[in-house]
Amino acid sequence: MSDEDVQARLAALRVQYAERLGNDLQTLMAQARELAARQRAIEPQALETLRLGLHRIAGSAGTFGLPALGQEAREMELWVQTVLETAVAPTAPMLSALSDRLCDSYRLLTDAQTPAQAESRTGDAESAEERPVRVGVMSLDASEALEQALSGFGYACRRLAAPNEWREWQPDVAVIDTASLSAASWQACTAAVPGARRILLSADGGFDARLQAVRDGADGFFTHPVDVPTLERRLRHLINMPQQDPYRVLIVDDDTELAEHFRLTLKVAGIESRVIEHPRDVLRGLREFVPDLVLIDINMPGCSGPELARLIRFDDDWLRIPLIYLSAESDAQRQAQALAQAGDDFLVKPISDVALTAAVTARAQRSRQLSQALARDGLTGLIKHPAIKELIEIEQSRTQRSGAEACVVMIDIDRFKTINDTYGHGTGDYVIRLLANLLRQRLRRVDHIGRYGGEEFVAVLPACSLDNAREAIERIRESFAQLECVAGQAVFHATFSAGVASTLDWTDAGALLEAADRAMYDAKQGGRNQVRVARNVTPQT
Amino acid sequence: MQALHRVLHVEDDPSIQEVARIALEVVGGMQVASCDNGQAALGKAAEWQPDLILLDVMMPGIDGPTTLARLREQETTREIPVIFMTAKVQANEIEHYRSIGGLDVVIKPFDPMTLASQLREIWERMDER
């Protein structure tokens, strides 16, 4: 066999592998997401399953030409391993951070599979991930203010007028002020960017205006004067909306032919599903496949659909998953009885492919949004407070084991009370989100950022020296101070003070956090808007 | 010196199994048998008598180190050299696998074009000892 033949065979294997890896990553993401949504302690076994999955990828991806992905998997594996070894119970936010990282890996894989596409989407060598979200603004009089305010949130924002400008820049979101423009003029522009989400601004907030916006394909609707923080929240929501990975559906039906038909129908719509023929396999199916939704046939031998639904509901872990009956049952009375027992909805067979797909997509989407909302801070989307402390413990034990330095940063917005008192709480929230966004953009993917208290943030920077941490935060401090905060007609600047401490200097998580806090307090005392480093005069041995 | 010819590869990941087969058979001109778990490897090794066993460390069921211990207990497989294959987690682990009787350790991910020569090198070093 010639060298070329070998290469060809290896290339074919790579394609096969990538396909399987995609499935494996999806399963891991679903597992992490499910664990994150649990409201009670997580048994080590569940984590061990995750670790094994990651280990496998860490060991194989490089062989199949995906070294970056292998490296990512390795880091995540180490993270899970550390969690297992330190016996710190992982909290939901930690796990959703892991799930996010798995999503990134999945994107890495899909980008690797379709390099041409990825390139044309970004228009340059930058990866899709690093490119800031582009917001095009079109308005006669409000453009400048909007551009400024949204740029402050870290969006790439541009005022665009003619259709060719829109076509050239290809924004992700179009913000259109319909109050100051003729329908024909703005519609010509949105037609140039059919993929962009649409937010329409209007002078009139009445029902008819809203209905018109719906008919104009709006994804968001605001009336003048526009509340920028709310607009930004909507933007964030819209951008996060496109799904990273396909929805997952578990189909429980003893009619295997029909179930297979459903599976294929959903597959065509990009929804992954697994068929379970025997009701008694359902718990295993839930654990292994971790669906966003379960479709249950109502008439099955040995265990009826409603019985099975009740059985699933015994377990708190699956409370958030919609259970949908799928049945030829068209008698309303009996449907109501079934729903009274357990289960969330009914789909009547025969059902058209379109109706099935639509019903499943809508419910799966809700289900997933709900799980994500459970683990994160509502205002900033950052990790909630209790989880951060545990993350610090993990980094600390990692330092003790491998000697790798990690840093903890405490950040507090200066004179926050004055901002609230002067401009109102809405503006205060806006400043918090502004800083949250900035931290998210500027820190590395491996860093953890949490909201610690009202206006206080904590960042945990693994594998980072004290000097590098200080420099990174210093740069963020400078950028933040330069951002213009908009509150109605007023424009002001906010600043923060920060304290940095290293795991090399403090071996106890509480002490480390306190040290960072003290350094932050020193920064406040020293005049605010600065970064201080905590030095341990008598390093512990 | 006897050349390295017959390799038993024990690995639960089918993709890795296949790529290693190409790497050793096609690129390296060796004869390869594969098992996807430690238990099966015990039987296959006794029956097929390979020159060398390439043994994955982490497998469901009995893991690599346990498989090695069992191979050493069996009369017919006691002398067969074993090279561990592992997705390295830490440097001291490699030392550990050598200390429990592994001839050497091959790190995953491996390059399919050089895996065979890597095994041969280890094989020849063993003969020199």
pLDDT tens by residue, A294-330 = 999 888 888 888 889 989 988 877 877 899 988 776 7
Contact between A26 and A246 under an 8 Å Cβ cutoff? The reply is yes
Q: How far apart are CA B26 and CA A20, in angstroms?
A: 24
Residue B19 backbone phi and psi in degrees, to 5: -70, -35
What is the nearest CA distance from B91 to chain A, expressed in angstroms? Answer: 10
Predicted local confidence at residue B85, as pLDDT: 93
Sheet order of strands, B52-56 included: B31-35, B6-10, B52-56, B82-87, B104-108
Contact between B35 and B12 under an 8 Å Cβ cutoff? The reply is no
Predicted local confidence at residue A205, as pLDDT: 86
Question: What is the CATH number for B84?
Answer: 3.40.50.2300
Predicted local confidence at residue A521, as pLDDT: 95
What is the nearest CA distance from A37 to chain B, expressed in angstroms? Answer: 27
* Weakest-pLDDT range from A206-215, A275-284, B10-19, B91-100: B91-100
| For residues A458-476, average pLDDT | 92
What is the nearest CA distance from A12 to chain B, expressed in angstroms? Answer: 10
* Weakest-pLDDT range from A348-352, A477-481, B109-113: A348-352
Judged by CB atoms closer than 8 Å, whether chains meet at B18 and A13 is answered as yes
What is the nearest CA distance from A209 to chain B, expressed in angstroms? Answer: 57
Residue A242 in this model has a pLDDT that exceeds 60: no
Contact between A357 and A269 under an 8 Å Cβ cutoff? The reply is yes
CA atoms within 13 A of residue A88's CA, in its CB half-sphere:
25
Q: Is residue B74 part of a domain?
A: yes
Report the relative pairing of strands A407-413 and A456-461 from DSSP bridges.
antiparallel
**How far from the centroid of its chain's Cα atoms is residue B1's Cα?**
20
Q: Which residues contact residue B128 at a Cβ distance below 8 angstroms, ignoring those fewer than 6 apart? A: none
Q: Tokens 């997705």 label which residue?
A: B87
Give just the sign of the alpha carbon dihedral A521, A527, A530, A533. negative
Q: Is residue B129 part of a domain?
A: no
Predicted local confidence at residue A30, as pLDDT: 85
Judged by CB atoms closer than 8 Å, whether chains meet at B15 and A77 is answered as no
What is the nearest CA distance from A63 to chain B, expressed in angstroms? Answer: 5
Residue A383 in this model has a pLDDT that exceeds 80: no
Predicted local confidence at residue A114, as pLDDT: 59
Confidence of residue B69 (pLDDT cuts 50, 70, 90): very high
Confidence of residue A382 (pLDDT cuts 50, 70, 90): confident
> In whole angstroms, how far apart are CA A132 and each of A157, A256, A365, A401?
9, 46, 25, 37
- The mean pLDDT of chain B is 90
Query: DSSP readout, A445-471?
Result: TT-EEEE-SSSEEEEEESS--HHHHHH
Residue B61 in this model has a pLDDT that exceeds 50: yes
**Residue of chain B minimizing CA distance to A15:** B15
Q: Is residue B45 part of a domain?
A: yes
**Residue of chain A minimizing CA distance to B110:** A63
pLDDT tens by residue, A91-110 = 777 787 788 888 888 888 88
- Identify the bridge partners of residue B85 per DSSP, sorted by sequence position: B56, B106
Cβ-in-10-Å burial (0-12, 13-18, 19+) of B79 comes to exposed
Q: How far apart are CA A286 and CA A274, in angstroms?
A: 10
Predicted local confidence at residue A123, as pLDDT: 37
- Residue B12: name the closest of B57, B51, B70, B66 by CA: B57
Predicted local confidence at residue A376, as pLDDT: 64
Residue A390 in this model has a pLDDT that exceeds 50: yes
- The mean pLDDT of chain A is 83
Predicted local confidence at residue A472, as pLDDT: 92
Q: Which residues of A481-513 are buried (b: 16+ CB within 10 A; e: fewer)?
A: eebebbbeeeeeebbbbbbbbbbbbbbebeebb
Q: Which residues of B touch A1 (CB under 8 A)?
A: 26
Total structural domains within chain B: 1
Q: How far apart are CA A169 and CA A158, in angstroms?
A: 9
Judged by CB atoms closer than 8 Å, whether chains meet at A81 and B89 is answered as yes
Task: For residue A133, give the DSSP letter.
Answer: P
Judged by CB atoms closer than 8 Å, whether chains meet at A74 and B90 is answered as no
Q: Which residues of A touch B109 (CB under 8 A)?
A: 59-64, 67, 70
Most confident of A230-239, A256-265, A421-430, B73-82: B73-82
Residue A541 in this model has a pLDDT that exceeds 60: no
Which of B15, B19, B26 lies at the smallest CB-CB distance from A20? B15
Which of A9, A56, A62 lies at the smallest CB-CB distance from B22? A9
* Weakest-pLDDT range from A124-133, A147-156, A204-213, A233-242: A124-133
Which of B26, B60, B109 lies at the smallest CB-CB distance from A63? B109
Q: Is residue B11 part of a domain?
A: yes
Q: Is residue B92 part of a domain?
A: yes
Residue B36 in this model has a pLDDT that exceeds 80: yes
Q: Which residues of A26-55 are buried (b: 16+ CB within 10 A; e: fewer)?
A: bbbbbbbbbbbbbeeebeeebbebbbebbb
**How far from the centroid of its chain's Cα atoms is residue B9's Cα?**
6
Contact between B58 and A55 under an 8 Å Cβ cutoff? The reply is yes
Catalogue all structural domains in chain A, each as residue range(s) with its CATH number: 3-122 (1.20.120), 134-240 (3.40.50.2300), 248-375 (3.40.50.2300), 385-533 (3.30.70.270)
CA angle A172, A175, A177 (to 5 degrees): 160
Confidence of residue A67 (pLDDT cuts 50, 70, 90): confident
Q: Which residues of A touch B16 (CB under 8 A)?
A: 59-60, 63
What is the SS3 string spanning A274-337?
EEECCHHHHHHHHHHHCCCEEEEECCCCCCCHHHHHHHHHCCHHHCCCCEEEEECCCCHHHHHH
Sheet order of strands, A456-461 included: A448-451, A456-461, A407-413, A496-502, A531-533
Domain that holds residue B55: 6-123
Judged by CB atoms closer than 8 Å, whether chains meet at B109 and A6 is answered as no
Most confident of A276-285, A389-398, A405-414: A405-414
Judged by CB atoms closer than 8 Å, whether chains meet at A13 and B111 is answered as no
- Residue A455: name the closest of A491, A499, A501, A419 by CA: A419
Q: Mind telling me the catalytic residues of A?
A: 455
- Residue A472: name the closest of A504, A503, A449 by CA: A449
Sheet order of strands, A197-202 included: A156-159, A134-138, A173-177, A197-202, A220-223
Both tokens of A226, joined, read 């526009």
Q: How far apart are CA A496 and CA A519, in angstroms?
A: 13
Predicted local confidence at residue A48, as pLDDT: 87
Residue A355 in this model has a pLDDT that exceeds 70: yes
Confidence of residue B78 (pLDDT cuts 50, 70, 90): very high
Q: Is residue B128 part of a domain?
A: no
Helix axes A305-313, A282-289, angle to 10 degrees: 50
What is the nearest CA distance from A71 to chain B, expressed in angstroms? Answer: 10
Contact between A346 and A327 under an 8 Å Cβ cutoff? The reply is yes
Contact between A276 and A328 under an 8 Å Cβ cutoff? The reply is no
- Residue B85: name the closest of B14, B20, B5, B4 by CA: B20
Q: Which residues of A touch B18 (CB under 8 A)?
A: 13
Predicted local confidence at residue A131, as pLDDT: 64
Confidence of residue A244 (pLDDT cuts 50, 70, 90): low
More confident residue, A340 or A18: A18
- Residue B56: name the closest of B25, B89, B95, B10 by CA: B10
Q: Is residue B24 part of a domain?
A: yes
Range A152-155, long-range pairs (CB < 8 A, 24+ positions): A152/A434, A152/A483, A152/A484, A152/A485, A152/A486, A153/A232, A153/A235, A153/A433, A153/A434, A153/A437, A154/A437, A154/A438, A154/A441, A155/A235
Predicted local confidence at residue A429, as pLDDT: 87
More confident residue, A499 or A429: A499
Predicted local confidence at residue B42, as pLDDT: 95
Q: Which residues of A touch B90 (CB under 8 A)?
A: 402
Predicted local confidence at residue A393, as pLDDT: 81
Confidence of residue A515 (pLDDT cuts 50, 70, 90): very high
pLDDT tens by residue, A269-290 = 888 899 999 998 998 888 888 8
pLDDT tens by residue, A108-167 = 888 777 544 433 333 333 333 446 789 999 988 877 888 877 877 778 899 998 899 999
Q: Is residue B43 part of a domain?
A: yes
Confidence of residue A40 (pLDDT cuts 50, 70, 90): low
Q: Which residues of B touch A (CB under 8 A)?
A: 13, 15-16, 18-19, 22, 26-27, 58, 60, 86-87, 89-90, 108-113
Which of B16, B58, B60 lies at the smallest CB-CB distance from A63? B16
Judged by CB atoms closer than 8 Å, whether chains meet at B108 and A56 is answered as no
More confident residue, A87 or A434: A434
Judged by CB atoms closer than 8 Å, whether chains meet at B16 and A402 is answered as no
| For residues B59-83, average pLDDT | 93
Predicted local confidence at residue A526, as pLDDT: 95
Q: How many CB atoms lie within 10 A of CB A164?
A: 11
Q: Which residues of A touch B (CB under 8 A)?
A: 1, 5-6, 9-10, 13, 16-17, 20, 52, 55-56, 58-64, 67, 70, 74, 77-78, 81, 402
Judged by CB atoms closer than 8 Å, whether chains meet at A10 and B90 is answered as no
pTM of the model: 0.56
What is the nearest CA distance from B88 to chain A, expressed in angstroms? Answer: 8
Predicted local confidence at residue A256, as pLDDT: 86
Judged by CB atoms closer than 8 Å, whether chains meet at B16 and A81 is answered as no
Judged by CB atoms closer than 8 Å, whether chains meet at B26 and A60 is answered as no
Which of B26, B27, B109 lies at the smallest CB-CB distance from A70? B109
Judged by CB atoms closer than 8 Å, whether chains meet at B112 and A9 is answered as no
Q: Which residues of A touch B113 (CB under 8 A)?
A: 6
Predicted local confidence at residue A243, as pLDDT: 44
Predicted local confidence at residue B54, as pLDDT: 97
